[in-house]
């Protein structure tokens, strides 16, 4: 597959960082998985998963960021899932659909910090 050569459509600055994430399908409290981000922004993230999700699936997410002690809780909607290793590893692209203002500020500050560091 050739690299994307079109114009950039992202609104938010994205960083290539691995943060620990626990996630579950919203409304299914007992089916929690733990993984990590591949990249991350104020608007969404790319997440490594062990299963495929249908587009539109809502995930309840907790992200552990290095600059704060408590995890950030938010909701995200799956835009696309891509199989990386057959029936084993997937990448899920998602957009954040809900977070409180404090969480948004923590995410924004984290992205800004690591974008300057890189």
The CA-atom distances, in angstroms, between 89 and each of 29, 55, 99, 109 are 22, 17, 27, 30
pLDDT single digits (tens) 31-69: 899 999 999 999 999 999 999 999 999 999 999 999 899
Kindly indicate the confidence band of residue 118, based on its pLDDT and cuts at 50, 70 and 90.
low
pTM of the model: 0.86
Place domain 14-117 in its CATH homologous superfamily: predicted glycosyltransferase like domains (2.40.10.220)
The CA-atom distances, in angstroms, between 31 and each of 23, 25, 27, 34, 114 are 8, 7, 10, 10, 31
**For the chain, which residues make up each domain, given as ranges?**
14-117
Read off the tokens for 36: 């990590």
| pLDDT value at residue 13 | 83
């Amino acid at each position: 597959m050739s690299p994307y050569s079109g114009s950039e459509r992202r609104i938010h600055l994205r960083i290539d960082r691995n943060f620990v994430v626990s996630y579950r399908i919203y409304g299914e409290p007992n089916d929690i998985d733990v993984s990590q981000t591949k990249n991350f922004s104020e608007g969404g993230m790319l997440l490594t998963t062990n299963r495929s999700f249908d587009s539109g699936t809502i995930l309840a997410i907790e992200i552990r960021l290095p600059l704060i002690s408590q995890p950030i809780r938010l909701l995200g909607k799956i835009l696309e899932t891509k199989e990386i290793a057959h029936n084993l590893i997937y990448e899920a692209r998602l957009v954040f659909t809900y977070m409180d203002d404090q969480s948004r500020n923590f995410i924004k500050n984290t992205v800004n910090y690591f974008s300057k560091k890189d």
